[in-house]
């Protein structure tokens, strides 16, 4: 249960509903497992039946890891996520997971408006409950577009700026005697291949240019290192 609470918090959800929870669950141990997600567990709701739990929901998405009658119309969480999120703007949406040992019972499927199947290898299609929760909630979170990666602070370096950097490295190779003169062009082609496998930003080029210039300065101004006696 602690892992489920953390998965919910990771994906921005906080409304945990338990249906007829097992009386032998140790509340002290659950609190330890929930860690920083303890508020999710503490604010949970409990119902005696699934029908009561989903009474106010505009959509009820149930998970099932097996085939069978009434289960052939399943969608993947990724396929169903946009529609579920759209409904959630108007009515609560329930994502229902079965028990760890038995999953969803056939008689419970009558409450489902959507059936979800998590893609997995056919030799073993059943997932651990906390794993299933994380996968489904993560697909919903991704579809919500609530997360965005950071953007580069400077634009990609243009060709002219890149050539200035390579000139600095060519000079550095000469100053530190990296290779024989007749091999320098060949080494520069190798260096170009390494540095142009992806787009470099202007900041990237400035750093690499500064490193090459510092190497040239050191080769000309610093005394040679003393060899160990």
* pTM summary value: 0.72
125 shares a domain with 61: yes
Domain count, the chain: 2
Both 112 and 175 in one domain: the answer is no
Spatial contact of 61 and 112, defined as CB atoms under 8 Å apart:
yes
Asked, for residue 229, whether it belongs to a domain, the answer is no
168 lies in some domain: yes
Which ranges in the chain belong to alpha helices (H)? Answer: 2-10, 27-34, 38-42, 50-53, 77-88, 129-143, 159-175, 181-195, 202-221
Q: Which residues pair with 116 in a beta bridge?
A: 63, 75
pLDDT tens for each residue of 168-192: 999 999 999 998 888 999 999 999 9
pLDDT, tens digit (0-9, with 9 covering 90-100), for 99-135: 776 777 878 888 999 999 888 887 877 788 889 999 9
Range of the domain at 39: 2-143
Q: Could you tell me the CATH number of the domain that includes residue 11? A: 3.40.1280.10
Mean pLDDT lowest among 13-27, 38-52, 172-186: 13-27
- What phi, psi does 19 have (nearest 5°)? -110, 115
168 and 64, same structural domain? no
In a shared domain, residues 12 and 94: yes
Q: Say if residue 130 is in the same domain as residue 76.
A: yes
Reference 77, options 103, 102, 104, 114; nearest CA is 114
228 is a domain residue: no
């Amino acid at each position: 249960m602690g892992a489920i609470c953390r998965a919910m918090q990771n994906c921005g959800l906080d409304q945990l509903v338990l249906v007829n929870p097992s009386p032998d669950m140790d509340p002290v141990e659950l609190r330890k497992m929930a860690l920083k997600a303890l508020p999710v567990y503490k604010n949970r709701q409990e119902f005696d039946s699934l029908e009561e739990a989903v009474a106010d929901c505009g959509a009820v998405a149930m998970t099932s890891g097996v085939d069978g009658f009434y289960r052939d119309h399943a969608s993947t969480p990724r396929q169903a996520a946009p529609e579920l999120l759209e409904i959630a703007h108007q009515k609560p949406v329930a994502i229902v997971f079965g028990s760890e040992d038995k999953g969803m019972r056939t008689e419970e499927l009558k409450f489902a408006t959507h059936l979800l199947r998590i893609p997995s290898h056919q030799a073993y299609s059943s997932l651990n409950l906390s794993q299933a929760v994380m996968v489904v909630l993560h697909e919903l979170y991704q579809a919500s577009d609530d997360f965005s990666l950071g953007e580069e602070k400077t634009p990609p370096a243009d060709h002219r700026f890149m050539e200035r950097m390579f000139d600095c490295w060519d000079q550095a190779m000469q100053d530190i005697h990296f290779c024989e003169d007749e091999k320098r062009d060949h080494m520069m082609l190798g260096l170009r291949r390494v540095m142009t496998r992806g787009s470099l930003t202007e900041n990237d080029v400035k750093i690499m240019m500064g490193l090459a210039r510092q190497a040239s300065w050191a080769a000309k101004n610093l005394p040679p290192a003393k060899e160990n006696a």
